[in-house]
Structure 1
Amino acid sequence: MLIFATIAATYQTGQASALQITTRSLTLVAGASDGGSKIGGVVNHLFTFTPGTSGQTIGSIQFLYCTTASVTACTTPSGLVTTSATLFSQSGATGFTLVNTTNGAPYITRTASAITGTPALSYQLNTITNPTVTAQTFYVRITIFTAASLGGTATDTGSVAAATTNQIILTGTMPESLIFCAGATVSTTSGIPDCTTATSGAVSFNQLFSPTDTATATSQMAASTNATNGYVITVNGVTLTSGSNTIPAMTSATTGVRGTGQFGMNLKLNTTATSTPAVGTEVAATPNGTDLRGQAFTGYNTADTFKFVSGDPVAKSDNTVAGPTNAQIFTASYIVNVAGNQASGTYTTTLTYICTATY
């Protein structure tokens, strides 16, 4: 939408007895709902100008709307309405009231008094209906009178030009959106989680499995959606397996116990009570219940407590209430504890995270 348009003009009025008004312009200012240069829009007209005669007496100023700038007969632009105009502001020479009874020829009037020097004058007339002819240039002939109500002598004069035009109406559509990715790491770009930075999903544990220590690993995922009811992320897969040998999954949320077969995960920053160094990171950015709603789900949302059940929800965008959310990065922390008789071998699992949005 075009909000305003300003065009200054330097048209001579041809009145030999009058001095030229200088530095003059008409700015089409946006109205309550219409852009300033909208064809037929109800807008505001701001006049600024400087008198040519220093110290003159001013009693009234006329704004005569015409289709031409010359002093020949004035034809009011088609569709122009000034009879609803109001005087919104005045400066430089004040004390005026508006007379708008004649369409296309409003004027402001006061008890005549002299100005000091040649001050910059400014008057804004509100709720004027622009001409309705497409892309029309129209002119306003400004004339200063020495007495009230267009009486006395016409002194300084000058014309300004303005133009109406088509508005630019931009239209765009935001579709249903779900951005989700998982990998060993997901980074940010300009502080925003960026799925184009997601690395391979191949992740190795930090050490060999041992009945005397806890092995750890991490992966990351990022999600955002505009879904009204937000998203749910589930983990899907099987426990770590080597041939026919497996490491028992932690089917209920519990702490790690060294020397006991355990495979589990959470989405929290854990402590050295689980491992050294501590594994994991809190969701980033921190959920705030408004534009950041993603958080770890029950069973996976307590530090140093781990669980793994295929199909479980591990995260939801339901902080405060389920709903849309900007992007956040979750860090999944995995632990493995093994019993002393755990069979040797290379243990692997393929986990698939699924993010489901409900619109």
Structure 2
Amino acid sequence: MRSVRGKLYLLCALLVFASIASVYRAPTANAAQITVRSLQLIGVGTTGGSLAGGTVNHKFAFTIPGGNTVGSIKFEYCTVAQVTACVMPTGLVTTGATYGGETGVTGFSLVNTTNGAPYITRTAAAVGTNVAATYTLNSVVNPTAVNTTFFVRISTYTSTNATGSPLDTGSVAASTANPIVLQGVMPESLVFCTGATVTVDCVTVTNPTINFNQLFSPTDTATATSQMAASTNATTGYSITVNGPTLTSGSNTIPGMTTAAGITRGKSEFGMNLKLNTTATSTVAVGAEVTPTPDGTDLRGQAQTGYNTVDQFKFVTGETVAASNNGGAGPTNAQLYTVSYIVDVAGNQLSGTYTTTLTYICTATY
């Protein structure tokens, strides 16, 4: 009987120990996975977001599984993901970071006292299910190793100081990279062309030999047009002068108009302007305005005094007929000019074929 009683005591003791062990078993973590997560490295000024050692902004985006009360979210920078202990990347600095904004789950402020492990905190509150959120940490100094991937372990906590067991976890990855430096040279530039017709970019230029629209007559005005285009990056822009003699036939001439004036039929005169004229000059309005229209910024080219008034004409060799000085002299994109020529003759103008060769000179000042 004594032996049986001893065995019963031992069995009871084992049952009690097993019961106590079951009651005091250590708790296990059951953190949910943070999903749809990413880290965007955003450049600041001329500093690229992935520049090694660059001071840039880190924008985290992820979906919080939810259903928990969240008081803080920690961002722990590591050289590996969540497999082993965290080793902070060399050169990383988060203690100078500032809070750049938030969406989704909001109301946080940044605590950056521990380098490599900043967290955001708020009064703990419930979070809905699967809430998409973004958080931006400004002025984070990237790790200094080039072409190196680093990881940030994201954890949510009920506590307001990122302590205790995490509620939800997940990792994101980013990498530093060498910047690509592109370099090119813009030389001093002047594009200028003349012809019967030209395109504004001077790609197409037609024959520069031009005939007036009709025979010269003391009762009607003969007209003709030519075109030119110009652009430059010169600091003070360009000026265009007309150079050459008036119309001549042997020793006979048709005088150039030395002052800007309207036409006078029955008087021998040769003139020009850079305007869209009206039927006061000829039956068909001759000429065109400079195009594109000058705006004083990117398009500065315009006709100059003496050549910039509708139905007023002038011709003095060597004078400036156009310049890029609208809004002040300066560089300009390409513009197209149409030059209108007029001829009136007196009844006693001697017959003959009257010609002139005009040279337009475009001078850029850098």
Structure 2 partner of 1:157: 169
CA contact (8 A) 1:147 1:153 kept: no
Structure 2 partner of 1:87: 99
State the Cα deviation string for residues 293-335 of structure 1 (Å, max 9, x = none).
2222222222222222221211122224222222222211111
Structure 2 partner of 1:302: 309
Tell me the amino acid that sits aligned with residue 116 of structure 1: G
Equivalent residue for 1:60, pick from 72, 87, 99? 72
RMSD: 2.0
Distance of 1:242 and 1:277 partners within structure 2 = 27
Change (3 A) 1:223 1:45: same
Change (3 A) 1:168 1:214: same
State the Cα deviation string for residues 84-111 of structure 1 (Å, max 9, x = none).
1223223333333322222111122333
Structure 2 partner of 1:50: 63
State the Cα deviation string for residues 173-216 of structure 1 (Å, max 9, x = none).
222221111111123xxxxx221122111110111112222211
Distance of 2:280 and 2:32 partners within structure 1 = 90
Q: Does 1:195 align with 2:209?
A: no
CA contact (8 A) 1:32 1:43 kept: no
Structure 1 partner of 2:364: 357
Tell me the amino acid that sits aligned with residue 293 of structure 2: T
Which segment drifts farther, 175-184 or 263-272? 263-272
Structure 1 partner of 2:50: 37
* Structure possessing the higher radius of gyration over alpha carbons: 2
* Poorly superposed stretches of 4+, deviation over 6 Å: none
State the Cα deviation string for residues 243-301 of structure 1 (Å, max 9, x = none).
23222222333332222221221222223332222322222223333322222222222
* Deviation of 1:121 (Å): 2.9
Q: Does 1:146 align with 2:153?
A: no
Q: Does 1:123 align with 2:135?
A: yes
Distance of 2:221 and 2:49 partners within structure 1 = 70
* Deviation of 1:66 (Å): 0.8
Change (3 A) 1:96 1:246: closer
Map 1:71-110; keep pairs closer than 5 Å.
71-110=83-122
* Deviation of 1:32 (Å): 5.1
- Name the one with the larger helix percent: 2
- TM-score normalized by the length of structure 1: 0.87
Tell me the amino acid that sits aligned with residue 81 of structure 2: A
Per the alignment, in what secondary structure is the counterpart of residue 172 of structure 2?
A: strand
Change (3 A) 1:264 1:70: same
Q: What is the number of residues matched between the two proteins? A: 339
Structure 2 partner of 1:222: 229
Q: Does 1:332 align with 2:339?
A: yes
Q: Does 1:213 align with 2:220?
A: yes
* Deviation of 1:43 (Å): 1.3
Give structure 2 stretches of 5+ with no counterpart.
1-27
Structure 1 partner of 2:40: 27
Map 1:253-268; keep pairs closer than 5 Å.
253-268=260-275
State the Cα deviation string for residues 53-97 of structure 1 (Å, max 9, x = none).
x41222322211111113312111010001112232233333333
CA contact (8 A) 1:96 1:108 kept: yes
Give structure 1 stretches of 5+ with no counterpart.
1-14, 188-192
